[in-house]
């Protein structure tokens, strides 16, 4: 019987002790002797348990590793500040949930990097584990520290802390890496020799094998391989056949309520739409769908094995899945009578999508969500949203006619070429949506006022997007723009039906630094962590003053990374990564944004972005 790493006294003194005890339904506990385990892998989400347990990627990789012969994969999450304090005071090392044994004693620590504001939590995980924070200080007594996920598409701000970054989708190369690790340990290779051999595996980037140079003006110059094994370009890994890679039949079921307490069914990867601000829409190209039969089988298996009462269909744009109607009808026929709710995020609001939603939602309790992203048609053309005002108002009319009276609208502020007219346009569009309700629904059929909630985040230029050259603004300017929208909301005819909220300004600026930063930013992250920065994604813990002091200590100006528009010819720290989408295509999109001209989506007309080279998906639809 395994012994818990934390005493009863400690568990009873912290918030939600179930975060730390493991033993959940479908968690995997192996016997090291009987199961001939020779590779121990810790899979980490560097945030609190409730967030990490809601992440599909961890569930997929956890299942995949635990299917491998001789491999045992455990889960690790960031201890909440109350336990963090106790662990430091009592010198308790961070542990895997399944074995309750120290992470430092395992072979690999894989950390998923989903959001830039979790970067100090990465250092927390290393620090509490007793693993040297810098890769150069580690020996074979430490695990190999791996990074994966969307933030690795600019890994440089974290480069000194990781041994290896895995570029792309995780189902393709891990068996090869584990085989190499076994051979390296068996043959007595040094850690450096192992890393040099690992760099030969496609999709793997070993940052210690490269030097970085900068121009006199501080801009990035080039990345120089220090060894012949280190490739000049690292090509992302892509799974072209999604029906023949591991997908969990028995996902782990938490003891406590988590952010997304449901079965998640990934129906496709990628997006045809090509919004110029959207990193995911570019780095996950080309669009690949899972077959209807595969999804039916997995939905049935997961609902039976978990007891969950909700299933969500996950993708970047669910409306674009070819068999959405058939899949939803199957789920309704099979599971609605059993009390299973069906969640459909990422739908485009049109007659088809609303028809599908009306079948699965309790209309009186739910809201419909539009993501216009911008308040005026000109600005939607700038970002290539492919959504007209008429589309939005017609969709609203369909929703109100169908019985909904609550609409959520998502926008961005601070987009390139944005004017005050565009800001006010957010309020005017929200008002027009409310007006549609009062024009469409007879007075005697209304259940009070409609509720139109408009939310705005601040645009952050991300690598590998058509807007990666754009500038950002000081936090005071973001606040000013948000107040313009708020004042305009209050001035609308239907202002009593409108509600407006916006994102924190400080966090957005720092996220922008991390998104496009270079290797020098690692010093700032380390300095801020040593000042106590942790859980920066949580507004109650974020302390901007600590970050400003850290930039000053390191002699770096955050404005250098955020406040200037990048010239087309400037080299980027992430240029060595090949996502399939070419830089020439992205430059073309940047130029089209300024015209502004819409680029048709992938199913309307191929634009030659480069993703066709992977040999499948939407690029080859209709070809035998």
Q: Which pTM value belongs to this model? A: 0.96
For the segment 495-522, the average pLDDT, to the nearest whole number, is: 96
Bridge partners (DSSP) of residue 369 are 408
Pairwise CA distance, residues 158 & 137, whole Å: 15
What does the pLDDT read at residue 347?
82
* Alpha-carbon distances, residue 287 vs 149, 181, 283, 513 (angstroms): 18, 33, 11, 29
Pairwise CA distance, residues 106 & 86, whole Å: 23
Percent of the chain scoring above 70 in pLDDT: 99
What does the pLDDT read at residue 344?
85
Indicate whether 227 pLDDT > 90. yes
What does the pLDDT read at residue 499?
97
Q: Could you say which DSSP state residue 614 is in?
A: G
What does the pLDDT read at residue 364?
59
What does the pLDDT read at residue 294?
98
Task: Render the burial of 279-313: b for 16+ CB within 10 Å, e for the rest.
Answer: bbbbbbbbbbbbebebbbebbebbbebbebebbbb
Tell me whether residue 591 is in a domain. Answer: no
Tell me whether residue 513 is in a domain. Answer: no
Q: Is there a contact between 30 and 72 (Cβ–Cβ < 8 Å)?
A: yes
Indicate whether 1 pLDDT > 80. no
Indicate whether 623 pLDDT > 90. no
Indicate whether 448 pLDDT > 70. yes
Closest by CA position to 268, among listed 280, 252, 279, 255: 280
- 351 burial (CB, 10 Å; 0-12 / 13-18 / 19+) is exposed
Contacts of 84 (CB under 8 A, 6+ apart): 78, 124, 128, 534
Indicate whether 69 pLDDT > 70. yes
Closest by CA position to 347, among listed 332, 325, 378: 325
What does the pLDDT read at residue 102?
98
Q: Is there a contact between 311 and 299 (Cβ–Cβ < 8 Å)?
A: yes
For the segment 12-40, the average pLDDT, to the nearest whole number, is: 97
Indicate whether 524 pLDDT > 90. yes
Tell me whether residue 91 is in a domain. Answer: yes
More confidently predicted of 352 and 88: 88
Q: Is there a contact between 106 and 84 (Cβ–Cβ < 8 Å)?
A: no
More confidently predicted of 622 and 414: 414
Tokens coding 437:
């309700």
Which tens digit of pLDDT belongs to each residue from 462-481?
999 999 999 999 999 999 99
What does the pLDDT read at residue 358?
81
Percent of the chain scoring above 90 in pLDDT: 91
95-104, 166-175, 221-230, 441-450: least confidently modelled range? 441-450
What does the pLDDT read at residue 601?
96
Tell me whether residue 267 is in a domain. Answer: no
What does the pLDDT read at residue 20?
98
What does the pLDDT read at residue 366?
74
Q: Read off φ and ψ for residue 561, nearest 5 degrees.
A: -90, -20
Q: Is there a contact between 229 and 200 (Cβ–Cβ < 8 Å)?
A: yes
Which tens digit of pLDDT belongs to each residue from 238-282?
999 999 999 999 999 999 999 989 999 999 999 999 999 999 999
**What average pLDDT does the structure give for the chain?**
96
> Maximum Cα–Cα distance for the chain, whole Å?
81
pLDDT classification of 23: cutoffs 50, 70, 90: very high
What does the pLDDT read at residue 349?
77
The kind and range of the H/E element at 490 are: helix 475-490
Contacts of 431 (CB under 8 A, 6+ apart): 492, 493, 494, 495, 498
Q: Is there a contact between 462 and 515 (Cβ–Cβ < 8 Å)?
A: yes
Task: Render the burial of 492-518: b for 16+ CB within 10 Å, e for the rest.
Answer: bebbebbebebbbbbbbbbbbbbbbbb
Pairwise CA distance, residues 315 & 270, whole Å: 8
Domain span at 58: 8-235
SS (H, E, C) 154-221: CCHHHHHHCCEEECECCCCCHHHHHHHHHHHHHCCCCHHHHHHHHCCCCCEECHHHEEEEECCCCCEE
Handedness of CA 193, 199, 205, 208 (dihedral sign): positive
Pairwise CA distance, residues 133 & 117, whole Å: 18
**Structural domains in the chain (count):** 1
Tell me whether residue 60 is in a domain. Answer: yes
Q: Is there a contact between 15 and 49 (Cβ–Cβ < 8 Å)?
A: no
- Which of helix, strand or coil describes residue 518? coil
What does the pLDDT read at residue 190?
98
Q: Could you say which DSSP state residue 271 is in?
A: -
Tell me whether residue 172 is in a domain. Answer: yes
Closest by CA position to 311, among listed 260, 358, 356, 277: 260
Which tens digit of pLDDT belongs to each residue from 539-561?
999 999 999 999 999 999 999 99
More confidently predicted of 1 and 613: 613
For residue 413, the number of C-alpha atoms closer than 13 Å in the C-beta half-sphere is 34
Tell me whether residue 515 is in a domain. Answer: no
Indicate whether 334 pLDDT > 90. yes
DSSP 112-159: E---GGGHHHHHHHHHHHT--SSGGG--TTSPEEEEESGGGGS-GGGG
- Which of helix, strand or coil describes residue 62? helix
Handedness of CA 579, 584, 587, 589 (dihedral sign): negative
CA triple 197-201-203, angle to 5 deg: 135
What does the pLDDT read at residue 563?
96
Pairwise CA distance, residues 252 & 359, whole Å: 29
Tell me whether residue 72 is in a domain. Answer: yes
Q: Is there a contact between 154 and 515 (Cβ–Cβ < 8 Å)?
A: yes
The kind and range of the H/E element at 374 are: none
Pairing of strands 39-45, 71-77: parallel
* Alpha-carbon distances, residue 47 vs 73, 324, 334, 439, 471 (angstroms): 18, 32, 35, 46, 29
Handedness of CA 92, 96, 100, 101 (dihedral sign): negative
Which tens digit of pLDDT belongs to each residue from 357-393?
888 876 555 788 899 999 999 999 999 999 999 999 9
């Amino acid at each position: 019987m395994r012994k818990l790493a934390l005493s009863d006294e400690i568990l009873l003194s912290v918030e939600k002790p179930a975060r730390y005890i493991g033993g959940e339904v479908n968690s995997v506990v192996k016997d090291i002797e009987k199961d001939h385990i020779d590779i121990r892998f810790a899979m980490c989400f560097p945030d609190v348990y409730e967030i990490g347990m809601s992440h599909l990627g961890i569930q997929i990789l956890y299942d995949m590793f635990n299917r491998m012969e001789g491999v045992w994969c455990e889960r690790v999450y960031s201890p909440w500040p109350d336990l963090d304090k106790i662990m430091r005071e009592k010198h308790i090392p961070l542990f895997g949930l399944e074995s309750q044994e120290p992470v430092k004693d395992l072979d690999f620590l894989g950390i998923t990097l989903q959001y830039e504001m979790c970067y100090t939590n990465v250092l927390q995980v290393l620090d509490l584990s007793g693993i040297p924070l810098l890769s150069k200080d580690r020996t074979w007594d430490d695990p190999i520290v791996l990074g994966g996920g969307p933030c690795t598409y600019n890994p440089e701000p974290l480069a000194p802390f990781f041994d290896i970054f895995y570029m792309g989708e995780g189902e393709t190369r891990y068996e090869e890496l584990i085989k190499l690790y076994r051979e390296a340990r068996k043959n007595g290779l040094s850690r450096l020799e192992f890393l040099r051999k690992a760099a030969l595996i496609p999709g793997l980037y070993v940052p210690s094998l490269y030097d970085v140079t900068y121009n006199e003006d501080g801009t990035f110059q080039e990345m120089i391989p220090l060894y012949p094994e280190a490739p000049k370009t690292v090509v992302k890994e892509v799974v072209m056949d999604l029906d023949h890679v591991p997908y969990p039949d028995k996902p782990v079921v938490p003891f406590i309520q988590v952010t997304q307490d449901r079965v998640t069914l990934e129906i496709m990867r990628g997006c045809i739409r090509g919004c110029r601000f959207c990193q995911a829409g570019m780095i996950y190209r080309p669009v690949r769908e899972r077959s209807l039969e595969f999804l039916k089988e997995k939905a049935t298996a997961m609902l039976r094995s978990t007891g969950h009462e909700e299933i969500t269909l996950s993708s970047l744009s669910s409306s674009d899945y070819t068999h959405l109607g058939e899949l939803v009808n199957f789920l309704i026929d099979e599971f609605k009578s059993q009390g299973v709710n069906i969640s459909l995020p990422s739908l485009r609001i049109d007659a088809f999508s609303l028809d599908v939603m009306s079948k699965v939602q309790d209309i009186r309790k739910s809201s419909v969500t539009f993501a216009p992203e911008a308040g005026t048609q000109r600005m939607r053309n700038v970002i290539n949203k492919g959504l007209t005002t008429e589309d939005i108002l017609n969709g609203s009319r369909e929703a109100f006619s169908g019985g909904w009276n609550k609409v959520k609208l998502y926008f961005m502020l601070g987009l390139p070429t944005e004017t005050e007219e565009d800001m006010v346009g957010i309020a005017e569009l929200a008002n027009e949506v409310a007006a549609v309700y009062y024009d469409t629904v007879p007075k005697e059929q209304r259940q009070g006022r409609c509720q139109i909630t408009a939310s705005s985040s601040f645009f952050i230029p991300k690598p590998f997007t058509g807007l990666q050259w754009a500038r950002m603004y000081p936090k005071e300017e973001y606040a000013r723009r948000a107040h313009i929208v708020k004042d305009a909301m209050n001035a609308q005819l239907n202002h009593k039906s409108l509600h407006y909220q916006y994102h924190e300004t400080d966090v957005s600026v720092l996220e922008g630094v991390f998104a496009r930063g270079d290797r020098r930013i690692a010093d700032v992250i380390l300095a801020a962590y040593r000042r106590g920065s942790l859980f920066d994604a949580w507004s109650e813990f974020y302390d901007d003053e600590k970050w400003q002091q850290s930039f000053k200590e390191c002699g770096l100006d955050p404005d250098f990374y955020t406040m200037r528009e990048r010239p087309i010819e400037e080299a980027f720290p992430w240029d060595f990564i090949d996502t399939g989408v070419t830089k020439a295509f992205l430059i073309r999109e940047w130029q089209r944004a300024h015209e502004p001209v819409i680029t048709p989506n992938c199913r309307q007309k191929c634009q030659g972005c480069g993703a066709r080279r992977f040999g499948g998906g939407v690029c080859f639809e209709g070809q035998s």
